[in-house]
Amino acid sequence: MYKDFKLGLCQMLVTMSKEENLAKAIEIVGKAASSGCNIIVLPECFNSPYGTNYFAEYAEDISDSESPTLKTLKSLSIQYSIYLIGGSIPEKNENKIFNTSVIFNPNGEIIGIHRKVHLYDMDIPGGIRCFESDVISPGNQATIVNTEYCKIGIGICYDINFPEYSWTLSKDDTVGILIFPGCFNIDSGSKYWELLMKVRAFDNSIFVAGCSQARNNDASYVSWGHSIVVDPLGQHENIDEKEGILIKDIRFDELVRWRNNILFRKHKRFDVYRQ
How, if at all, do strands 39-41 and 89-93 pair?
unpaired
What residues are labeled active site? 44, 116, 157
